[in-house]
Each structure stands twice: as C-alpha cells, then as structure tokens.
C-alpha cells in the first residue's frame, strides 16, 4: 500500500471508530435524555421580593404587608426507588412531606401558616391587648359625665312639635336636634365640652395591628390492606391566634359602641377515619369525622370608657338613666364538639345502572360554663335577684342526620336517567329554659326581656329529584329535571302555650329545569338552561316577635318565585382561536305579604343578578399565546321598610296623607373585571419564558334610598305639615342617595424566567398594583367618633376633614366624645399603590 492508500485506510478506520463511537454516544445521550425526562425534577429556589409601600390590604394573605425586602423560597425534593417514593416540599410558610409505597401505604405530613392582615390603621387606648382584660390608661377620665338629651323642651312647633332647641345636658358635647332644619333650631349651641376627648386621652390612642395567623398541621396515613380493603386516617390541627376588631355595646340607655381589640386563641382539631371496600360491582365506605373546637379565651373584660357613677335619674318623660357599668364583659365562642359517623354503599347493576346510598349521624355538643349574667360593674356586678339563670351551661346537643339515595342509569347510550332522594335533619335537643335576664345589661338596663326562653331551632329538609338527559341526535341533547324540596322548621322544648318560633313552620319548593345542548358543529357548541322554582310557605306569620319591638320578616321562610337562565356559547373557528361567552340571570321575587297588616310587603322584596363573561384565547404560535377576558356582574336587591310604628292606626294615617309610611332601598353591586395575559415560552433557543398580565376590577355599590314621604323636602323652608294627629309617628323628607361604596383595583404583572445554565434558572418579576376604595363605614365616625350626635360630620371619601393629626394618624384633636356614639378607632378604607420586584434563583437537579 502506498502512503496515500495507508492514509485513506487509517482515515477510514478512524471514521468507523468515530461512527461507532458516535452511535454509542447517541444511544447513551438518548438514554440520558430519557432518564432526565422521566425522572422527577428536584428544585431549590431562593429569592427576594422588595415592596415599596406598607399596605395591609396588599399583603392581606401574601405576607407582603410591610415595605422592604422579603425572603422567599421554595424547595421540592423527590426520591425513592421502585414503588417506594418520597417527596419533600417547602416554602416560606410551611413544608410538606410524603412517603409511601405506591399501592400499599402512604404517610403525609405538613405544616402551613396563613396570615391575614386586617387593618394597619386601627388605634385604641386600651392596654392589655392580647389578654382577656382590657384596661384604659390612668389618664382616662374615669367618671365621664353622663350626657343625655332632655325631651321636655317644646320651644318649636315645626315637625309636629317634635323639634326643639334643647341642647345636651350641661357638661356634654354638642347636640343638634335636627341638622337639616332651616329654622332656628338647626345649630344648638354647645353648652360644654366635657364630652370631648382630652389631649391626654387622645395621646393614649396607639396603633394596634389587627392580624391573625392560622397555623395548620396535617397528618395523613393510608394503607391498602388488600386490593379490596383500604383504611385511611387524616388529622388536621389548627391554631388561630391574633387580634381582630369587635364591637361592643356599652354605656347609656341608647347604647354606645366601642370597637375593641379582641384576642383570638382558637384550637381546632379534626380527625377523619375511613374504611373502604370495593369488589366487583359493589363498594362501601364507613367513616368517622370528628371536630373539636376550643377558644382558650373564654371572655373579654374591658373598662367602660363612658363610665359614670351618677345615680339613676328619671327624666320628666319617664325615661330612666341608669349608672353605667365600669366595665363590660362578653362571652367568646363556646368550645364545642362534633362527631359524625357515615356509611356510603353502592352497587353497579350492570347496564350502566348504579345505586348509591348514604347515611350519616352527627352529634354536636356544647357545654361551656356560663359567665355570670351581670356585668362586672360595681353597680351591677351582682346579678339582681330578679334575674334568673336556670343552668350553669346550656347542655347543648344537636343531632344531625342525613340520608340519601341516588339511582343513575343509562339504559341506552343516548339516554341518562337520575332519581335521587335526600333527607337532612337538624334536631336541636339543647336545654330550653326561662332566662329572665336583660337584653343588654351593659347599657345599664336591668329589666328582663319579655320573652325569656332560649330557642332550640330545628329543621328537616326532604329533597327529591328526577332527571332525564336525552341525546336525540348527533351533537344535540335535552335535559329535563323536576325537584321538590320540603322544609319543616320548629323549636324543641317550648311550652305548649308558646307561639311558633318561626314565621313559617312548613315550606315547599318545586323546581323545573330544562336544558338544551348543541355541539352539532365542530367549531361551535353551546347550551342554555332555564329553571323555575316556586316556594310556598303554608302558614306565614309575620309578627313573630319574641323580643320587644322586633318584627321579623325572614325572607328565607316566605313564598318565593325564582327564575334562572344560564347560557354558554363556545366558538373555536381554528385550532388557535377560541371565543366563549356565558350569561347567567337569576330573579327572586318574594311574594307573600309580611306586614302585620297583612297587605304590604316588608323586608327583602326581590333580587336580580346578571353576569356576563367573555373570554378569548389566541395561540399566535406554539410558543406564544394571548388571553383576554371580561366579566360584568350586576346584582340588585330591593328592600322595603316600615317607617312608622307598627300600629295600624299610624300606618293608615300616614298612608292617608301621602305615599305611605314606607321607605325602600335598591341595593346594587356592579362589578366589572377584565384582564389580558400574554405568554411566550421557549424564546432565545428555549432559554426564556415571558409573561405579562393586566387585571382590572371595578366594583361599585350604589344604594338608592327612597322614602315615600309627604314632605318632598330637600332644601329651603320647611313646608307646613298637614294637620294630623299621629302618635309616635315619623315625619321625613327624602334625600336621595347613600354614599357610594367602591373598590377598584388595577394590577400589572410581568415575569421572566431565563435558563442560565442547564441546572440554573433566574426568575425576575414585577408587580404594580393600585387599589382604591371608599366605604361610609370608615367615615368620620370611626376616625373621630361622632363629632356630635345627630349633626352630620363633614364626610369625605378619604376620611375626616380635620387636618390635625395625633400620633401621625388622622385622628383629629378636636374629636368629641359624646354620649350615644361610636368610639373612634381610626380604621381606614384600604387605598394603596404598591410596586413589588422579585428576583429568584432556581437550582434544578
């Protein structure tokens, strides 16, 4: 061989070697690829999120409520061999672990924390936050003047002689008898300022975060005893701690309201055990569910900020003003237990016919020891002898029983049949006794209520349903359903002489549903359904009134007609384009008169809600997709109230002169939500994923209050009233409008994920969120207390108009603190603009 030939031989040998090597390498690479592609990925992520503002609402559930840097992290580790596997997960709020042999057993364990931030503007002068005893600082005026309005003056004959220029009791804050009046009684002069908060008292108000934390521990075990038998157990233990706001009525006869920092220390322990059997056509499950709740704080005692040691006085009109207690106390949620056994069994008869039956029996008990009925006040600390508390605890027991039977069948491929029956009963066997105690003794009230029995509410629901679904041609189907629901309500243990405790002891509802579905065309499918329900209450009694002056018009027990329409249409003209629209319309009409006179409707009269949803998805390529949606909800409820006293004479008298004694409010919630999302994946050779999103929500709640008034007064001189002789009758002028409530939000979200190396990914995110809201709940009353009793404070959607700030908040220094008002707490409606930038590194292996 020549040198040249030798060269070619050597080259060819090398080529073969390389080819063989290449073949091996490719096979190996393929095997490695396959291994990588089929092996669960482990990952560790660490990062930081930086926010530029404090906002409890922004961080309500995500722990980003404070400005600054927040460390985030995630971990997922998978391992094991064969059927035995484990998985460990964790993040900044908890962790989870799972270990088991698939098909044989599994053990899971986890811990998770969830914070809820409720307010970052709440202020309180109370000391001892977090304990069960709240005290006021030494600077607090301990014998605040009891301020009450005398009703004896009669210097003005306007408004039927009602209005007069009487000001508050000497030493109290301002009182305006009628702020809207244009006559001389509009602005009664202040006669003192002892009702106002002092500088020392204002300085005692301190910011107190309102937040709670749920810490949950989960443990689960399951074991397959055999292919037919399986047993499992799950325990969930949760502790909820923190502080929430709670209102309390305390003070004078007209009840002041103070917003307290309420300590929360709940423990809830839930256990579920199941034994399952499945063999051939039959299956069954026997189970136990138990839930034990305990509140470690049994009561909250608090000093009365309106305390007065004045002796009881009787005004010339006979109204009695009692000395206010020096402290109040309320009972927290009582500890309780619920134990339930249940059995489910089913059988497949073949031919696609199946019967499933369920039965459950639950026992709910509560035996928390009662607190003393009296307050802790020196004046009323000892329970008066006229008060009777017949037991030391309720001896509460509620038995819940549920039975259901469901038969489904598909006798032919195009026909589905369903018949079901369910009974659900709540039988309250708690003790019933006469509790001759006051309605609210903290007001200084000592008279007992006129109806002393506690009510052990019970009910029984029986529900039947038949349904047929027939595909009558290719792509077209119709469904017909008929349902009955009978409800029986009662109270156990009542004396035979007692009236029924419910407005209607029986109600029956019948519903008919029809639905049509069409999927005839490859690119279009849709459905529309209509439901009509008629609920009839057999004997509706409107004036169920166990407590003084409490007329009940319970809407959930009365006649109701409901019509419901739902429709959906989906159009996918190409594989990359998809449109859908859905519509829901529900109308409720409450048709039974619930006025004592029997001919007029009071309470909730009707409800109507509509919801439109539009959605479009476009796949621009395999890597780029775009989604847009729009939702429009409009909900309204019409409520009618009785503006007069309940005497027929008064009602008729008002009806005779004008549009009646009634007022109404049309409550609406209008919410529009829209969003746009763009997602691009595997850019830059598969290294970069991008997503961008915009979300906007506009929620407004206009409440239109109108009154049927014979005084069409809005401004100017007051008209002269017609000559009427009305006793205790209201005279009103209609002023339209209730302050709009709204909550608007806009959010822009950008994320990028870049595969830096084979094992390392960098994540970058940006979130801009703006939130604005207004709510009359947060108007001046909370910021400043009521500036005075009846006169309207200067309201604005942003809070108080006063500029003087205390402790850097909006609590104005000129806040007054009169009798009959709301204790200031400075809570604000949430408004924020927050930017958050996140950077994270993910290591995968």
Region 657-686 residues binding another protein, contact defined as CB under 8 A = 663, 665, 667, 669, 671, 673
- Select from 577, 735, 752, 813 the one that contacts another protein (CB under 8 A): 735
Nearest Cα to Cα of residue 461 among 486, 481, 482 = 486
Per-residue binding string, another protein, 26-65, x by CB under 8 A, is: xx-xx--xx--xxxxx------------------xxx---
**Which residue, 200 or 649, has its beta carbon nearer to another protein?**
649
Q: Encoding tokens for residue 611?
A: 């919801």
Rounded to the nearest whole angstrom, what is the least distance from the CB of residue 475 to another protein in the complex? 11
**Which residue, 139 or 439, has its beta carbon nearer to another protein?**
439
Nearest Cα to Cα of residue 794 among 768, 822, 815 = 815
Query: For residues 702 and 741, what is the distance between their CA atoms, to the nearest angstrom?
Result: 7
Nearest Cα to Cα of residue 116 among 52, 57, 53 = 57
Rounded to the nearest whole angstrom, what is the least distance from the CB of residue 742 to another protein in the complex? 8
Instruction: Using alpha carbons, list the distances in angstroms from residue 431 to 166, 362, 369, 395.
Output: 49, 18, 14, 6
Instruction: Rule CB under 8 A: say whether 739 interacts with another protein.
Output: yes
**Which residue, 42 or 139, has its beta carbon nearer to another protein?**
42
The three-state secondary structure class of 55 is: coil
Q: How many residues bind another protein (CB under 8 A)?
A: 226
Query: For residues 373 and 387, what is the distance between their CA atoms, to the nearest angstrom?
Result: 8
**Which residue, 274 or 564, has its beta carbon nearer to another protein?**
274
Query: For residues 128 and 263, what is the distance between their CA atoms, to the nearest angstrom?
Result: 10
Within 795-834, which residues bind another protein (CB under 8 A)?
795, 818-822, 825, 827
Rounded to the nearest whole angstrom, what is the least distance from the CB of residue 374 to another protein in the complex? 8
The three-state secondary structure class of 826 is: coil
- Please give the angle made by the CA atoms of 837, 839 and 842, to the nearest 5 degrees: 150
Answer yes or no: are the C-beta atoms of 300 and 328 closer than 8 Å.
Answer: no
Answer yes or no: are the C-beta atoms of 303 and 378 closer than 8 Å.
Answer: no
Q: Which stretch binds another protein (CB under 8 A): 48-56, 177-185, 202-210, 492-500?
A: 177-185
Within 380-399, which residues bind another protein (CB under 8 A)?
387, 389, 394, 396-398
Query: For residues 433 and 388, what is the distance between their CA atoms, to the nearest angstrom?
Result: 10
Instruction: Rule CB under 8 A: say whether 245 interacts with another protein.
Output: yes
- Select from 132, 402, 483, 506 the one that contacts another protein (CB under 8 A): 402
Q: Which residue has the tokens 């709910």?
A: 364
**Which residue, 41 or 200, has its beta carbon nearer to another protein?**
41
Q: Encoding tokens for residue 220?
A: 């689960």
HSE of 11 in the Cβ direction (CA atoms, 13 Å)? 6
Within 690-709, which residues bind another protein (CB under 8 A)?
695, 697, 699-701, 703, 705, 707, 709
**Which residue, 139 or 388, has its beta carbon nearer to another protein?**
388
Q: Which stretch binds another protein (CB under 8 A): 205-213, 240-248, 303-311, 759-767?
A: 240-248
Within 465-494, which residues bind another protein (CB under 8 A)?
467, 469, 479
Q: Which residue has the tokens 């050779």?
A: 685
Query: For residues 11 and 13, what is the distance between their CA atoms, to the nearest angstrom?
Result: 5
**Which residue, 164 or 690, has its beta carbon nearer to another protein?**
164
Q: Which stretch binds another protein (CB under 8 A): 410-418, 504-512, 648-656, 835-843?
A: 410-418
Within 87-126, which residues bind another protein (CB under 8 A)?
102-103, 114, 116
- Select from 373, 528, 626, 628 the one that contacts another protein (CB under 8 A): 373
In which region does residue 803 sit, left (phi positive, over 0), alpha (psi from -120 to 50) or beta (all else)? alpha
Query: For residues 825 and 248, what is the distance between their CA atoms, to the nearest angstrom?
Result: 13
Residue burial 637-663, b: 16+ Cβ < 10 Å; e: rest: bbbbebbbbeeeebbebbbeeeebbbb
Q: Which stretch binds another protein (CB under 8 A): 201-209, 303-311, 597-605, 748-756?
A: 597-605
Beta bridge partners of 589: 561, 606
Rounded to the nearest whole angstrom, what is the least distance from the CB of residue 138 to another protein in the complex? 27
**Which residue, 678 or 730, has its beta carbon nearer to another protein?**
730
Beta bridge partners of 116: 212
Query: For residues 269 and 213, what is the distance between their CA atoms, to the nearest angstrom?
Result: 16
**Which residue, 782 or 836, has its beta carbon nearer to another protein?**
782
- Select from 2, 3, 71, 82 the one that contacts another protein (CB under 8 A): 82
Instruction: Using alpha carbons, list the distances in angstroms from residue 654 to 159, 383, 553, 645, 717.
Output: 14, 44, 21, 10, 22
**Which residue, 192 or 739, has its beta carbon nearer to another protein?**
739
Q: Which residue has the tokens 């499918």?
A: 525
- Select from 142, 153, 180, 751 the one that contacts another protein (CB under 8 A): 180
List Cβ neighbours of 99 (8 Å cut-off, separation of 6 or more): 85, 86, 87, 106, 107, 108
Q: What is the enclosing helix (H) or strand (E) of 12?
A: helix 3-38
Per-residue binding string, another protein, 547-586, x by CB under 8 A, is: x-xxxxxxxx---------------x--x------x-x--
Q: Which stretch binds another protein (CB under 8 A): 47-55, 412-420, 652-660, 837-845?
A: 412-420
Beta bridge partners of 400: 362, 426
Query: For residues 604 and 817, what is the distance between their CA atoms, to the nearest angstrom?
Result: 36
Indicate the length of the chain as a whole number. 845
- Select from 121, 437, 651, 828 the one that contacts another protein (CB under 8 A): 437
Query: For residues 814 and 195, what is the distance between their CA atoms, to the nearest angstrom?
Result: 11
Instruction: Rule CB under 8 A: say whether 761 interacts with another protein.
Output: no
Within 277-296, which residues bind another protein (CB under 8 A)?
278, 283, 285, 291, 293, 295
What values do phi and psi take at 80, rounded to 5? 110, 175
Within 602-641, which residues bind another protein (CB under 8 A)?
602-604, 611, 613, 615, 622, 629, 631, 633, 637, 639, 641
Within 499-538, which residues bind another protein (CB under 8 A)?
502, 517, 522
How would you classify the pairing of strands 210-224 and 313-314? unpaired
**Which residue, 184 or 247, has its beta carbon nearer to another protein?**
247
Within 201-230, which residues bind another protein (CB under 8 A)?
none
Q: Which stretch binds another protein (CB under 8 A): 47-55, 192-200, 531-539, 791-799?
A: 791-799
Q: Which stretch binds another protein (CB under 8 A): 45-53, 79-87, 122-130, 303-311?
A: 79-87
Rounded to the nearest whole angstrom, what is the least distance from the CB of residue 431 to another protein in the complex? 9
**Which residue, 136 or 340, has its beta carbon nearer to another protein?**
340
Q: Encoding tokens for residue 831?
A: 């408004």
Answer yes or no: are the C-beta atoms of 832 and 746 closer than 8 Å.
Answer: no
Q: Encoding tokens for residue 409?
A: 């069948």
């Amino acid at each position: 061989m020549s040198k040249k030939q030798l060269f070619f031989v050597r080259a060819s040998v090398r080529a073969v070697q390389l080819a063989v090597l290449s073949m091996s390498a490719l096979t190996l690479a393929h095997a490695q690829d396959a291994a990588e592609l089929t092996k669960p990925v482990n990952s560790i992520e660490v990062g930081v999120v930086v926010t530029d503002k404090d906002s409890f609402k922004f961080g309500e559930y995500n722990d980003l409520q404070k400005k600054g840097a927040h460390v985030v992290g995630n971990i997922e580790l998978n391992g094991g061999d064969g059927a035995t596997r484990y998985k460990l997960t964790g993040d900044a709020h908890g962790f989870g672990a799972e270990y088991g042999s698939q098909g044989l057993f599994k053990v899971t364990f986890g811990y998770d924390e969830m914070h809820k931030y409720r307010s970052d503007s709440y202020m309180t002068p109370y000391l001892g936050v977090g304990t069960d005893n709240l005290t006021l600082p030494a600077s607090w005026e301990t014998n605040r003047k009891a301020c009450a309005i005398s009703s004896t003056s009669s210097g003005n004959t306007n408004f039927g002689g009602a209005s007069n220029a009487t000001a508050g009791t000497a030493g109290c804050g301002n009182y305006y008898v009628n702020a809207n009046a244009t006559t001389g009684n509009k602005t009664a002069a202040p006669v003192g300022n002892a009702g106002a908060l002092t500088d020392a008292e204002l300085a005692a108000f301190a910011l107190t975060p309102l937040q709670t934390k749920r810490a949950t521990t989960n443990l689960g075990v399951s074991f397959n005893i055999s292919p037919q038998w399986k047993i499992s157990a799950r325990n969930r233990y949760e502790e909820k701690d923190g502080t929430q706001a709670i209102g309390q009525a305390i003070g004078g006869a007209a009840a002041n309201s103070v917003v307290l920092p309420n300590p929360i220390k709940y423990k809830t322990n839930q256990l579920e055990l199941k034994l399952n059997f499945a063999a051939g056509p039959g299956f069954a499950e026997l189970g136990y569910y138990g839930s034990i709740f305990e509140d470690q704080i049994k009561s909250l005692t608090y000093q009365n900020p309106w305390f007065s040691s004045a002796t009881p006085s009787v005004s010339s009109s006979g109204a009695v003003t009692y000395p206010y207690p020096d402290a109040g106390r309320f009972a927290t949620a009582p500890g309780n237990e619920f134990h339930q056994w249940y059995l489910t069994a089913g059988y497949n008869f073949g031919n696609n016919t199946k019967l499933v039956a369920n039965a459950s029996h639950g026992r709910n008990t509560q035996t928390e020891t009662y607190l003393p009925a009296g307050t802790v006040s020196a004046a009323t600390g000892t329970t008066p002898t006229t008060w009777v508390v017949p037991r030391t605890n309720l001896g509460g027991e509620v038995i819940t029983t549920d039975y259901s039977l469901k038969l489904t069948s598909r006798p032919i491929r195009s026909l589905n049949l369903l018949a079901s029956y369910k009974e659900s009963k709540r039988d309250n066997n708690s003790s019933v006794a006469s509790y001759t105690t006051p309605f609210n003794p903290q007001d200084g009230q000592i008279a007992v209520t006129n109806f002393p029995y506690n009510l052990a509410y019970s009910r029984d629901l029986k529900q039947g349903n038949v349904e047929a679904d027939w595909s009558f041609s290719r792509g077209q189907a119709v469904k017909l359903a008929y349902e009955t629901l009978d409800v029986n309500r009662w109270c156990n243990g009542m004396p035979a002489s007692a009236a029924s405790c419910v407005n209607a002891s029986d109600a029956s509802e019948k519903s008919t549903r029809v639905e049509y579905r069409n999927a005839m065309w490859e690119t279009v499918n849709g459905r529309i359904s209509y439901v009509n329900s008629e609920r009839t209450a057999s004997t509706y009694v409107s004036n169920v009134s166990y407590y003084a002056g409490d007329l009940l018009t319970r809407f959930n027990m009365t006649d109701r007609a409901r019509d419901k329409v739902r429709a959906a249409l989906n159009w996918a003209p190409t594989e990359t384009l998809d449109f859908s629209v859905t519509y829901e319309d529900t109308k409720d009409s409450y048709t039974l008169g619930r006025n004592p006179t029997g001919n007029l409707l009071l309470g909730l009269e009707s409800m109507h809600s509509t919801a439109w949803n539009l959605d479009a998805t476009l796949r621009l390529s395999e890597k780029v997709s775009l989604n847009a949606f729009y939702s429009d909800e409009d909900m309204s409820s019409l409520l009618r109230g009785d503006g007069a006293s309940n005497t027929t004479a008064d009602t008729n008298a008002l009806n005779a002169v004008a549009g009646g004694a009634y007022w109404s409010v049309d409550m609406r919630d209008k919410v529009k939500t829209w969003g746009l999302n763009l997602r691009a994946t595997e850019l830059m050779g598969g290294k970069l994923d991008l997503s961008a999103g915009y979300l906007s929500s506009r929620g407004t709640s206009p409440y239109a209050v109108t009154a049927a008034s014979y005084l069409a007064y809005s401004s100017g001189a007051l008209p002269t009233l017609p000559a009427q002789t009305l006793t205790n009758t209201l005279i009103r002028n209609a002023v339209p409008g209730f302050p709009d409530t709204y909550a608007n939000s806009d959010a822009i979200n950008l994320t990028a994920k870049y595969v830096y190396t084979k094992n390392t990914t960098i994540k970058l995110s940006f979130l801009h969120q703006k939130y604005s809201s207004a709510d009359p709940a947060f108007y001046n009353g909370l910021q400043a207390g009521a500036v005075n009793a009846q006169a309207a404070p200067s309201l604005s959607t942003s809070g108080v108009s006063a500029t003087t700030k205390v402790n850097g908040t909006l609590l104005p220094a000129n806040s007054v603190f009169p009798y009959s008002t709301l204790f200031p707490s400075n809570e604000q409606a949430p408004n924020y603009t927050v930017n958050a930038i996140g950077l994270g590194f993910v290591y995968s292996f």
